[in-house]
Structure 1
């Protein structure tokens, strides 16, 4: 599925945006009959109101959309006008007026995102109305953003029977073929031979072999390494999840899906040019079998740090640790991890606002600003030093699941930071990767988080 704008030269219907503060200020193009129709329909310009206007032959003359009052505060919903895209008849539409406070780029991206529907197992269609790209927006950049999000959504939405480690590798190889990445995969016993023991330990009980997928593009310039958690299904291991907690665990590879989408976006927007880009995905199933790793096991990581396993359901940080240690050996300028890592992050900030961690104040501020500019909000959380002792069990260097249930997202981030040593700068995103209920531009299901924020912040991040 590919997002699209209507061709600029297409025959298109006009769409007018009307505030409820001035419902009588209707477009001059409307004749007396059309104005009578609008009045009869009770259109007042309230937010989300839609009035499709017929022409004299019974066809479509255009439509009015209510956008509510002008506010100085941000609206409650991103992509609010995308809701209209799903309600309008199929065809090409153009917006003929832009009231103050309405962002053409946000509107256009929301319309593109509304075209997505997950139709792998039954026919499904997104919005059929197509928007003519507004003047002065970067249409190609918006198309790249939407296409990357479609890729991420499709990967997350696909259930584990069709999105195991084999399938995730195939998706990575497809991306590599389309966008000029080299691919190297280390799987099964070769993980032990290659000193990636934590990835092997977590995934060895799975039906498909655990593996590390390594994509590279570019051979000069600043170095950016993205590491995405690729737990294709998480039973919790021997510390098994309840059925309700396991229900959405096909999305536990959301970090991998997000870094693949981000990598595609970087290439298609041109941001990857002059950049050494590396993508690492530890792809595993956290399953239960006779050779599953156990609570109480002490594992030795690639970095040499020992880890006491106090909960097999805290497996994501283990597979990330080995991938991060490998990445840090090349001292990248930036190492960034994306992972559906902790329930604590959802308790703190909910499903729509992922936390991120970064020690560089200027870079963190740039990421926050870029998230707002690119309609991809994120929120900075602290690497809180006093909690370091919580991840040090005494019997081993590190504890993968400190007892007590406090500060779970922070302690997970502190755990990961131990394996980022050697990288120039490090940021970690504890994403959710799921839209619990439909919203404008976002169907229920898999969703991309943090990628557009990073794309927008990249010029600032690459400043030494």
Structure 2
């Protein structure tokens, strides 16, 4: 699926954005018939509201979309995107006083409102097209939309059709498209190459575990992304109940988001050296599944007591992070659908993140609202370190008690980043539970746009 702007044309219909407090001024500038039409329809410019203005022959001559008020816009990201499905077929050009991030949000929302996951059931796409307005970097927004499409498609695909093999294929497709290199370590070779925890988590599945290692760029600062690629999570021997297992096709949302972000970076040709690591596994139940009480020796040499086989994501990430840390990149970022505790803390809309460097955290917080990608900082709180130290081993993968579950998981991962000075971890949800403008129910990227927006400052580009 390609989400792009329409070519410029002289026949494009004007599409005017009007705020709630600007209706009177807008109406005053219309012809008498159009002014009467607006008043007759009681148009109040609610966020995403649409009114088509007819010409003398009754065909659409123009359209107006409501911007609502500041409160409505703050409560509903991409609110104007709902208008796209309501507009009749045609090509439109924006007429608005919006500039900068506000205009970018409208345009990106328009693109994303065209997304449909139709692999298994056809869904009608909106027939209204938009010419990129002046002042908008159309190529950048199209690259961001394409990365988001990749992320959503991967998350939405059920595990029967997206296991470690298919996740590797998606990475290889990306490498081929952008002339990146890729290396994959699979099955028992994981043991030989010292990735014991990735192997332990994935060995029970019929689809072999693997570590995907993609590299792109030959000069500039170094950025390493690590994405959790658990293609389905049964919980292992600590089997999840059915209600908790229903959405586990999305447990590779961290991998999907980092792949989408990598696509954005490469499409925009950012002057960096990018590395993407994805431990891709399925956490299955079989005779050789890893067990509660097992003690695993990680790539880092740290021992880990398995107190819950359903806390497997941090195990596979740990080996990948240890590998990433050996190169000491300028910035190391992990993304994972890691804990239910993060959802309890901030809900599905916000992407909580942790940062070892205050300036990195400040940059992400500043960037997120500019691109309508909300994030929220949580702390690497050292007071909780004893909770992940079981005594019988160096680390506990599932501390008892249930308190601060997202923080203790982040602290666990941080133990495997000892040489890199700057580490950021995102504990994302990766799923839109109810339909919203430009975000249908299903897989969704979180944190990628905020990180992309912050990268020039983070890496001094």
After TM superposition, the score normalised by the length of structure 2 is: 0.97
The answer on whether the counterparts of 1:149 and 1:447 sit within 8 Å (CA) in structure 2 is: yes
The answer on whether the counterparts of 2:47 and 2:80 sit within 8 Å (CA) in structure 1 is: no
- In the aligned structure 2, how far is the partner of 1:309 from the partner of 1:458? 36
- In the aligned structure 1, how far is the partner of 2:327 from the partner of 2:416? 13
> 1:54 is matched with which residue?
54
> 2:352 is matched with which residue?
355
> 1:84 is matched with which residue?
83
Cα distance change on mapping 1:102 and 1:393 into 2, 3 Å: closer
> 2:228 is matched with which residue?
229
Alignment of 1:352-431 (within 5 A): 352-431=349-428
CA deviations 1:61-117 (Å, max 9, x no partner) are 111222223x38962111111111121112211122326899211100000111101
Alignment of 1:24-423 (within 5 A): 24-26=24-26, 30-69=30-69, 71=70, 75-98=74-97, 103-271=102-270, 273=271, 275-423=272-420
- In the aligned structure 2, how far is the partner of 1:398 from the partner of 1:232? 25
Q: Secondary structure at the match of 1:429?
A: strand
The answer on whether the counterparts of 1:115 and 1:125 sit within 8 Å (CA) in structure 2 is: no
Cα distance change on mapping 1:24 and 1:331 into 2, 3 Å: closer
CA deviations 1:204-261 (Å, max 9, x no partner) are 1112000000001123332111000000000001111111110100000000001111
**Pairwise CA distance, 1:140:** 0.8
**Pairwise CA distance, 1:10:** 5.2
Cα distance change on mapping 1:54 and 1:184 into 2, 3 Å: same
**Pairwise CA distance, 1:132:** 1.2
- In the aligned structure 2, how far is the partner of 1:99 from the partner of 1:264? 28
CA deviations 1:318-362 (Å, max 9, x no partner) are 000001111111121111100000000000000010110002111
**Pairwise CA distance, 1:39:** 2.2
- In the aligned structure 1, how far is the partner of 2:34 from the partner of 2:130? 23
Cα distance change on mapping 1:330 and 1:23 into 2, 3 Å: closer
Cα distance change on mapping 1:90 and 1:126 into 2, 3 Å: same
- In the aligned structure 2, how far is the partner of 1:290 from the partner of 1:325? 28
Q: Any gaps of 5 or more consecutive residues in structure 1? A: none
The answer on whether the counterparts of 1:341 and 1:431 sit within 8 Å (CA) in structure 2 is: yes
Cα distance change on mapping 1:72 and 1:66 into 2, 3 Å: closer
The answer on whether the counterparts of 1:199 and 1:211 sit within 8 Å (CA) in structure 2 is: yes
Q: Secondary structure at the match of 2:61?
A: strand
Q: Secondary structure at the match of 2:249?
A: helix
Q: Secondary structure at the match of 2:52?
A: strand
- The worse-fitting range, judged by mean Cα deviation, of 406-415 and 17-26 is 17-26
- The worse-fitting range, judged by mean Cα deviation, of 19-28 and 451-460 is 19-28
The answer on whether the counterparts of 1:206 and 1:285 sit within 8 Å (CA) in structure 2 is: yes
After TM superposition, the score normalised by the length of structure 1 is: 0.96
Cα distance change on mapping 1:230 and 1:241 into 2, 3 Å: same
Q: Secondary structure at the match of 2:182?
A: strand
The answer on whether the counterparts of 1:229 and 1:282 sit within 8 Å (CA) in structure 2 is: yes
**Which is richer in helix?**
2
CA deviations 1:24-75 (Å, max 9, x no partner) are 3335774332222222222222333221122222211111222223x38962
What's the C-alpha RMSD, in Å, of the aligned pairs? 1.7
> 2:448 is matched with which residue?
451
CA deviations 1:370-405 (Å, max 9, x no partner) are 111121111111000010000000000000000000
CA deviations 1:152-198 (Å, max 9, x no partner) are 00000000000000000000000000011101110001001111010
Q: Any gaps of 5 or more consecutive residues in structure 2? A: none
